[in-house]
Chains A and B, each alone.
Chain A
Amino acid sequence: MADAKYFSTTKKGEIHELKLELNAVDKSKKKDAVKKVIAAMTVGKDVSPLFPDVINQMQTDDMELKKLVYLYLINYAKTQPDLAIMAVNTFVKDSQDPNPLIRALAVRTMGCIRVDKITEYLCDPLHRCLKDEDPYVRKTAAVCVAKLYDISAELVEDRGFLDMLKDLLGDANPMVVANAVAALSEIQELGGKPVLDLTLGTVSKLLRALNECTEWGQVFILDSVVNYMPADAKDAEAVVERVLPRLQHANAAVVLSAIKVILRNIQYIGDESVRTALLRKLAPPLVTLLGSEPELQYVALRNISIIIQAQPSVLANDVKVFFCKYNDPSYVKMEKLDIMMRLVNERNIDQVLLEFKEYATEVDVDFVRKAVRAIGFCAISIQSAAERCINVLLELIQTKVNYVVQESIIVIKDIFRRYPNRYESIIGTLCDSLESLDEPEAKASMVWIIGEYSERIDNADELLEQFLETFPEETAAVQLALMTATVKLFLKKPMEKPQQLIQLVLTYATQETDNPDLRDRAYIYWRLLSTDPEAAKDVVLAEKPTISGAQDSTDPALLEELLRELGTLASVYHKPAASFVSKMRLAVHRADDLAAAAVRGSQNGEPEMTSVVVVEASQAGSAPTAIAAPAAMPDLLGDLLDVRAPAGAMSAAPDLPVVFGEDKGKGVVLRAALTHAADAYILQMSVCNLSMDVPIEGPLLIQFNRNALGLAPASQSVSLDAVLPGATAVVCVPLVQRQELVAPDQGQVLQVALKFPRADVGVLYFASPIASNVHL
């Protein structure tokens, strides 16, 4: 005990002293020296110069000493590869020791030493240990195959370790099976290609082992069974039946992985009543997870958010269990609020609203703000409760707590937009708290309200003037809001005071500021006002599109992926694994997803098809005919720039640039460009069939990566009449813009995957630039 003394040597010449001690005759002195070396290593000192002296201690019967030396070796072998060879003999000898603990230790440690020269010698002991009579050694060896694969994939394949590992899936010992599964999953992830072939046979073998292996083994097995695609409803039900008892396991990870497998298989069960009964069984274990340690509650809550988006019925009646406890950590409270917002409906709104009000008076500022936002969200999404929500907000404003007031004003602005001309009577109350506003968002919201309702606020000009005093110091968002509000005021009350104000603002914004957005908008207003005030009214005071109350929902494709990843980091981040794991797995998965989407599409009946024009057989690039514009999108820019693209600009498609050339050898030339017409984006493509004899037939499947504009195809399926050999067809894919897909970091390029039904063409990937003139 009291190993702390080994940490205490910090004087100079320490290395030399340790060297002497390591070479001492006295055994216990030697061992103490090794401990000192390890202690030094632990606190980050470089003790690699002692390498040969430490390695000399390896041949010993003292298990503790041996483990320490191995630990040293794992740490420093890479820095001294030539000397590390000295250790090989002992490893090989140990791997044949009569004690299984030592055999396992040897093979486990050897796998951790990432030195090529040693790896060569690992193969024979590993081979032996995979067939060892002791399951403890076999389970250790199974993991070692994955380690070896990480160092040298060829070696694993050449020496047949992969097949040996697959054989272990049928091992009599459940722990060996579980580790073999873990190792195979690991290899699959490292190599990016499927090695674990999940047939019904393998899966039922794995599920048999499930009952008997440790909790961790159960997690490995469940996490790999989730990738099994059942052939029919019967298979799916069989899997679910075997997994169902796991919901009663005390380990939260086992429960979550079991839920994941069940949710995956539920899709394949046709019988509605069976599905409903199964979904009902998922709620109690999910609720119980909220009683576990706070860290696990956090994971559970992030997962529940995914689950209830996919299966809203699961916890529909359980909103109460998400009510926050006073002592919940902040990260748990925030997630609970999110879930409450997803579960709130007309039946439970009163209860939930009372809770939100309670939270809005707590001390944690971030939590309070979020609670206020949640109240606003309820008002916007549940029309019948809007008035009750507003009353709560007004009560909160009365408290005069600064950040509560500011947050309330932000959400009230949205409520005004959602229900125009209904609640404006409260403006007077809002104006009372004008002086306390110091946050940009709250200021901008208040300014917007004043501008929008300036005809009802008698002293609107005075109020705005107050704000304008500090105009140069405000943030851009507030400046923009102030400018628009002043213009609105002027248009509504074209009197002397507003005119002064507007001149002040526009002069500043056009002459003094460095912000191009502000300056450009000021010029536009200026010209509008000076040339045609009526047009200015049409633009600035135009009717605004109503806003909807929907909470940010996860993109369906992402949701699908996350459902398969329940319990993992991806499910916590709500991001696809590919976005934070830098591996080569992306391409394979994408193509699979595309195929899966096609299957889903055909199950759901005829997908929406896209218009196509086939041009006469000629070389690609000839001018295509005009294309009908797809349905217009809602105008996002609302009251500002109601400028529409000139009608002529979009009609004739320009010559399209080649994005996938002949040189790629797929027998297809693709040309594509992003254009926009009548407020909607379109991807124009021409497909040229270079083959001599085989036609290309539709439909094609199309998918985008996230991009700077948040564009996605309106339909995944692109219909295409047969393109005869040598012919070219022009296709127009209407696109939609979705806020949740916007990825500003993706640059000005649109990455597209296009799947052809003809196997020899397969999936083509290309990128099309988003030209700056395309921006709406």
Chain B
Amino acid sequence: MSVSAILFLDQRGKPVLQRDYRGDVPLAKVAERFIAKLNELEETGGAAPILLDGSLSYLYVQYSNLYVLAVTKTNVNAAATLVFLHKLIEIFKHYFHELEEESLRDNFVIAFELLDEVMDFGCPQFTEAKILSEFIKTDAHRMAVQARPPMAVTNAVSWRQEGLHYKKNEVFLDVVESVNLLVNSNGTVVRSEVVGALKMRAYLSGMPECKCGVNDKVLFEAQGRSGRQKAVDLEDMKFHQCVRLASFERDRTISFIPPDGAFDLMTYRLSQNIKPLIWVECQVDKHSRSRTEYVVKARSQFKERSTATSVEILLPLPPDAISPTVRTSQGSATYAPEKDALVWKIKNFPGGREFLLRCKFGLPSVAAEEEAQGRLPPIKVKFEIPYYSVSGIQIRYLKVIERSGYQALPWVRYLTQAGSYEIRMS
């Protein structure tokens, strides 16, 4: 399993940067062939992120104005290669702030150095941006002393450098839950799931041992304390590589030495049915061929003590809608012709309330071709509810133990927000 070369191509398919790892594909032709193949497939509607062209396979990710492309002749591990390409993009973003054609050209020397370190003979090697920046430095930070490979590169703890020191040892833990919801045009909830993440920012000295406890149902049941406290049934938990998976598997303790700075400690998923937090109903009244009215109700279905903020409801309009006029009982609504939608913004939306919007618009009296009229896209809702966790997950403790014996301050916050929140129009 290995990749022959990594290429960065611009939108027209001209190589901006490329690194040949195995010398077994004619690199000069690859970019051209790839773009030709891609165009050919896009016409027939079969352009997937992995393409087979004779004996060559292309795996690519589109990012800003670039194609990041891996090409191979072997039966490479496709999942690993695609994850690698995404990590590579992350690394370049870490180094150049933004990855695009210009920044890549501006930093091609560093880019080559990085490409040499992250992959060898087509096998992914090391992709921790923070550790890489310890020995591959941009001009500004280049030191007189010659760099040596940090211990972390080959260490079991490959994500944390040694000898860190902070005056104030602090760790912030944000519990962020995104609600994905799909409601059918007849008003039934087709799918609802919660995807949560424990986002940690650790500013801790030395090599701290951390332990984190959540009200995990499986753990509580194993300890025989089910019933006394509210526990959540987390369907699938995924951990940052710093978490000792074997000990989690053994007794479900989450123990780890954190990387420095921000990272996702854990992500989890629940698909139990929860009441949609914000419910939107849109009634479409067609008064005549050319005059239509929307009557939209938005209702918050969470406890009154919480408040949703930055609520944004995107109501799709037909592309040929004429001069919509809007009235709302709360917030403001504007017509965004570039999105073919009405954007209804409500800064504060307390629990247990209902707001109304009415929108009238005209349609051209000459109807468009029948075929062009697909169905309207779904209504999309964005919101944030601070200090609230929809799943009921709680951080029970966050312990930090370090040899030097300092006391670390843990800060925990909860936030629930809308993920992919779609309500289909009738």
Contact = CB atoms under 8 A, between A and B. Distances in A.
B356 interface: no
Contact of A68 (B21, B74, B112, B146): B112
Interface string A248-263: 1111110111000000
Interface stretch (B119-127, B210-218, B288-296): B119-127
A267 interface: no
Contacts of B102: 4
B378 interface: yes
Contact of A320 (B75, B142, B190): B190
Contact of A220 (B106, B120, B123): B123
Contacts of A581: 55, 73-75
B377 interface: yes
A657 to B, nearest CB: 34
Interface in A424-468: none
B241 A3 contact: no
Given A248-B248, A354-B184, A569-B76, A361 B374 contact: yes
Contact of B83 (A75, A253, A325): A253
The DSSP consensus for interface residues of chain A is helix
Q: Which of A6, A111, A331, A400 has the most CB of B within 10 A?
A: A331
Interface in B90-141: 102, 105-109, 112-113, 116, 120-121, 123-127, 135, 138-140
Contact of B185 (A74, A298, A358, A580): A358
B375 A361 contact: yes
The DSSP consensus for interface residues of chain B is mixed
Interface stretch (A139-147, A645-653, A688-696): A139-147
Interface stretch (B149-157, B325-333, B388-396): B149-157
B2 A401 contact: no
A287 B236 contact: yes
B420 interface: yes
Given A244-B249, A366-B45, A249 B121 contact: no
A568 B81 CA distance: 9
Interface in A115-140: 134-136, 139-140
A176 B124 contact: no
B370 interface: yes
Contacts of A176: 154
A308 B121 CA distance: 34
B288 to A, nearest CB: 21
Interface stretch (A97-105, A595-603, A605-613): A97-105
Contacts of B15: 42-44
Contact of A362 (B127, B240, B374): B374
A235 interface: no
How many A residues are at the interface, by size bracket? 35 or more
B79 A179 contact: no
A67 B113 contact: yes
A231 interface: no
Nearest to A62: B146
A140 B120 contact: yes
B370 A287 contact: no
A248 B82 contact: no
Nearest to A575: B52
Q: Which of B17, B18, B78, B135 has the most CB of A within 10 A?
A: B78
B88 interface: no
A63 B147 contact: yes
A669 B121 CA distance: 47
B269 A287 contact: yes
A581 B235 CA distance: 39
Interface in B195-223: 195
Contact of A582 (B55, B148, B191): B55
Contacts of A75: 20
B164 interface: no
B343 interface: no
Q: What 9 pairs across the A-B complex have the smallest Cβ distances?
A: A363-B374, A284-B236, A245-B245, A253-B80, A295-B49, A577-B75, A135-B154, A245-B249, A253-B79
22 contacts: A4-B102, A35-B109, A43-B15, A68-B109, A71-B112, A135-B154, A150-B22, A186-B1, A186-B121, A186-B123, A219-B80, A245-B248, A248-B237, A248-B245, A284-B236, A293-B61, A295-B59, A296-B83, A300-B79, A327-B420, A569-B57, A581-B55
